[in-house]
Amino acid sequence: MKIITFIDSIGRTIVGEEINRTDTVAVVKNPAMISVNQAQNGQLQVQLIPLFFSEFVVEHLRSEGSTWHYNTNNITLGDVQVDARLVEQYTRVFNFATTPQAPTGDSVIKLFDE
């Protein structure tokens, strides 16, 4: 898996699995925004937030993830290799997101653990 890092047109730092890249388009599977927040103790916390939740995809296609085409004129590509810990977090986020959930019987889409 090759991870791509870029800044989108509204300033979000995005990571995702690079599927293909040409001079005009970067194809990215399961893009996620890097969110950095300061905790109560002053430490910085890094969290990955999917740009599109798998729960919004029809159930039989969820395990495939979502693929997005970014115009390379509208993003700033990073020439970095992200730390292994961030790759691990990315993998956990999307492995969890694509694990089939037991039907709940109600129509509410649950995005997070209870």
Token pair in block for residue 14:
């995005």
Task: Tell me what pLDDT residue 57 has.
Answer: 86
Greater model confidence, 105 or 60? 60
The C-alpha angle 11, 89, 75, rounded to 5 degrees, equals: 25
Average pLDDT score over the chain: 85
Give the pLDDT mean for 16-33: 96
Task: Tell me what pLDDT residue 105 has.
Answer: 47
> pLDDT band at 24, cuts 50/70/90?
very high
Task: Tell me what pLDDT residue 63 has.
Answer: 85
Give the pLDDT mean for 42-65: 88
> pLDDT band at 108, cuts 50/70/90?
very low
Residue 98 has pLDDT above 60, yes or no: no
Greater model confidence, 9 or 100? 9
Q: Which secondary structure element, helix H or strand E, spans residue 31, and what is its range?
A: strand 25-38
